[in-house]
Structure 1
Amino acid sequence: MAKTNPGRFFEDYAVGQVIDHAVPRTVGAGERALYHALYPMRHALYSSDEFARSCGLPGSPLDDLAAFHVVFGKTVPDVSLNAVANLGYAEGRWLKPVWAGDTLRSSSEVIGLKQNSNGKTGVVYVRTRGTNQRGETVMEYVRWVMVRKNDVDAPAPETVVPDLAEVIDPTDLVIPEGLNFTGYDFTLAGEPHRFGDYEVGEVIGHVDGVTIEEAEHMIATRLWQNTAKVHFDATFRPDGQRLIYGGHVISMARALSFNGLANAQMIVGLNGGAHANPCFSGTTVKAWSEVLDKAETSAPGVGALRLRLVAVSDASVGELKDEAGKYLPQVLLDLDYWALIPV
C-alpha cells in the first residue's frame, strides 16, 4: 500500500470541508534574526525590544509577515501542493501578536470552488486561521489558488464563488493590546513622517532594489516549510524554472517600503492582493506604494494607513495595468493592506 501523499487535486475538494493542517511550529528569537537576514527589514518595532516596550508592548513580536508565512506554509501540503499559481488574498486580519515561544498551527475551510473552462484546472477558495498554543486565533485570511485536476474526466463541482469584502472596515482592525504611540521616537524609527504627513492618492517610490537569489528563496521556502512543487522542483514547470514563492516577493517589497514608510510599523489588515506576474531568480525587485485611505483608531497616538504596495521588476512608479485592464509585465505584486502609524 502506498504511504506517500501526492497532495489534493481540484476534484478532491468540497465546499464546507475543513482541513486541519499538520506539523505545528514553535517559533523562537532566531526566527526574527533569520527573517531579517533574508530581507532588508528595518522597522524599529520588530528590530528592538526596547523600542517595542516604549510603544506599550512587552517586547518585539515576530514580524507580521513572518507569522503569515508560518501559518501559510502549514497549508501548502493540503491546499496548494499541486497548484499552478496562488491567485489572490482577501479579508486578512492579524488578531494577536506572535511572540518567541509561541506554537502556531493552521486550519482551513473550503469556501468556494470553480472549475476553469479548460477542464484541467480549477480555483479553490479557502479561509485559513492560524492559532497559538492557547487556541487563540492570531490571524485569518482568505486565499484562492488554481489547482490541477488529476482526473480531467471528473465532473465539475457546482460553482461557488464566495462574496468577499473588497476592504476591511477600519473599525474591524484589531490593535494589539497596550499599543501606544504617544511617546514614539521618530529619530530611532528612522523617519519623521507621521499619519498627518500622508495624503490619499500620494504615490511613494521606494528607490531601492534587491535582486532575487535562488539560494535565499530556497532558504525562505524551507524556513516556512512551504512544499509547493513549483518552488522546489525544476522539472515541474515546462520552462524548467522554479517559481519564486509569492510570499518572498511580498516580504521583499515590504522591506523595501521602509524607505518612505519607515513608521508604517504594524500590518493589521490584508484587503486584497494579486501575484500579477511570475517571479524568477535573477529578477531585481523594486517597489512603490500608494496611499489609498486613512483612518483613526481608538489606540492612543495610533492611526491607520491603507496602502497599495506594488513590486515591480523595473524602475517604473505608479503604473499598474494597460488599457485593457491587464497587469503590465513588470508588475510582480499588487497588495492592499492596512498598517498602523503614529499620528
Structure 2
Amino acid sequence: MTKTNAGNFFEDFKVGQVLTHATPRTVSEGDRALYQALFGSRFSLQSSDEVGRKAGYPQSPIDDLLAFHIVFGKTVPDVSLNAVANLGYADCRFHRPVFPGDTLSTISKVIGLKENSDGATGVVYVRSTGRNQKDEIVIDYVRWVMVRKRDKTSPAPQTEVPTLGAVVDPKSLFAPLGVSFKGFDTVASGSPHLWDDYEVGEKIDHVDGVTIEEAEHMMATRLYQNTAKVHFNQFTEGQGRFGRRLIYGGHVISLARALSFNGLGNAMLVAAINGGRHVAPCFAGNTIFAWSEVLDKASLEGRDDVGALRLRTIATKDLPCANFPGALEKGYAEGVILDLDYWVLMPRR
C-alpha cells in the first residue's frame, strides 16, 4: 500500500462525502506582512493596529482574503490536486474576524458531481467550512472545480448539480460585533468617500495596474499550501495545453481587491462572495487591471455606523479598464480574466 497521496481524481468523489483536511495553520504577523508584500493591499483597518483599536477590535484583523486563502489552501490536496482549473465560487460568507495567533482548519463536503462530455474530466462541487481554534466558523463557501479522471473509461456518476442562490441575502451578512465605525478616520484610510457617497450603477476604473511575477506567484502557492499541479509543477504543466503553469485564481482575486483600493478605499471588510468566475487563464508576465460597478446598497439591521455595498469587480490582463470591459452578449471581452460579485462593508456618515 502506497504511503504517498496522489490526490483524488474525479471518480473518487461521492456526493455527501466529508473531507477533513490536514495541517491546521496558525496565522501570524508574518502572514500579514507577506500578504501585503505579495498583493499591495492598503486598507487601513488591516494595516494599522491603532485604526483597529479605535473601532473596538483588540488589534487590526488580518485581511479577509488572507483568511480565505488559508482556508482554501487546506482543501487543495483532497479536492483539487488533480484539477484542470478552479471554475467558480458562490454563497461565501465571512462570519468573524481573524487575528494573528488564530489557528484555522477546514472541512469540505461534496455537494455535487457532473462528468464533462469529453469523459476525461468532471466538475466537483464542494462546500468548505473554515473554523478557528475555538471551533467557531470563520468562513464557509461553495466552489466548483474541474478535476481529471484517473481512467477515462470509468463510469460516470449520476449527475447532481446543487442549486445555489445568485446573491447572499444582505440580511444574513455578519457585521462585526462589539465595534463601531462611527467617525471612521478617512484621513488614515486615504479616502473621503463613505457608504453614503456611492450610487447603484456607478462604475469605477481603479486605474492602476500590477504585473504578476513568477516568483511572487510561487511564493503565494507555497504560503497558502496550494499544491495543485496546475499552479505548482512546471514539469507536468509544461507538457499540458498551455505549456506553463496557470496563475492561482485567488492570486488574481487578491490583486483585484488590492487594486480596488483606488476608488474604494473605505471598503474595509469583505462580507460575502455572491459568485465568481475565472473567465480565462493568466500567466506570469501579465499585467492585471480592474474596475468595479456598484450593483446594490443595503443598510444593516441595528447598525447606523456601517452599510453594505454589493460590488462587481472585473479584472483584466494587459488591458486597462477605462472603457469598462466585461460581459458581452456571448462570452466576455478579450482580456477579461475574473468576474467577481461580492458584498463589502463600509463606514457610514
- Structure 2 length-normalised TM: 0.96
Encode CA deviations 1:118-174: one digit per residue, 9 max, x unaligned. Answer: 111100000000011111111100000000000111111111110101000100001
2:85 aligned residue: 85
Measured against aligned partners, the alpha-carbon deviations of 1:65-119 in whole angstroms (never above 9, x if no partner) come to 0000000000000000000000000000000111111110000000000001111
Task: Number of aligned residue pairs: give it.
Answer: 342
1:318 to 320, 324, 337: 324
Counterpart of 1:248, as a letter, is H
Which amino acid in the other structure matches residue 55 of structure 1?
A
Of 297, 322, 341 in structure 2, the residue corresponding to residue 336 of structure 1 is 341
Match of 1:306 among 294, 310, 313: 310
Retained in 2: the 8 A contact 1:86–1:145?
Answer: yes
Secondary structure of the residue aligned to 2:207 is strand
Partner of 1:103 in structure 2?
103
Q: Find out whether 1:147 has 2:144 as its counterpart.
A: no
Q: Distance in 1 between matches of 2:344 and 2:198?
A: 13
Give 3-state SS (helix, strand or coil) of 1:235's partner. Answer: helix
Distance 2:289 2:178 in 1: 34
Native 8 Å contact 1:253 1:286 kept in 2: yes
Which residue matches 1:125? 125
1:47 maps to what in 2?
Answer: 47
Alpha-carbon separation, structure 2, partners of 1:118 and 1:221: 29
Q: Return 26-35 or 312-321, whichever deviates more.
A: 312-321
Give 1:267's aligned residue: 270
Structure 1 contact 290–307 (Cα < 8 Å) conserved: yes
Contact 1:9 1:147 in 2 (8 A): yes
Give the stretch that moved more between structures: 154-163 or 233-242.
233-242
> Does residue 36 of the first structure (1) align with residue 36 of the second (2)?
yes
Give 3-state SS (helix, strand or coil) of 1:261's partner.
coil
**TM-score, normalization: structure 1?**
0.98
How much has 1:235 moved relative to structure 2? 3.0
Moved over 3 A (4+): none
Contact persistence 1:277–1:329 (CA under 8 A): no
AA matched with 1:105: S
**Deviation at 1:4?**
1.2
Which 10-residue stretch deviates more, 328-337 or 124-133?
328-337
What are the equivalent positions in structure 2 for 1:106-255 lying under 5 Å apart? 106-237=106-237, 238=240, 239-255=242-258
Distance 1:322 1:272 in 2: 18
Point out the more displaced range, 85-94 or 311-320: 311-320
The code of the aligned residue for 2:276 comes to G
Q: CA deviation at 1:195?
A: 1.0
Tell me if the contact between 1:54 and 1:183 (Cα under 8 Å) persists in the aligned partners.
no
Q: Which amino acid aligns with 1:268?
A: A
CA contact (8 A) 1:180 1:300 kept: no
Q: Which runs of 5+ in 2 are unaligned?
A: none
**Unmatched segments (≥5 aa) in structure 1:** none
Kept after mapping to 2: 8 A contact 1:181/1:300: no
Q: Which residue pairs with 1:7 in the alignment?
A: 7
State the SS of the aligned residue for 1:252: helix
Letter of the structure 1 residue corresponding to residue 345 of structure 2:
L
TM-superposed deviation, 1:59: 1.2
What's the secondary structure of 2:52's corresponding residue? Answer: helix
1:290 partner SS: strand
2:344 alignment partner AA? A
Q: Which residue identity lines up with residue 319 of structure 1 in the other structure? A: P
Question: 226-235 or 41-50, which moves further after superposition?
Answer: 226-235
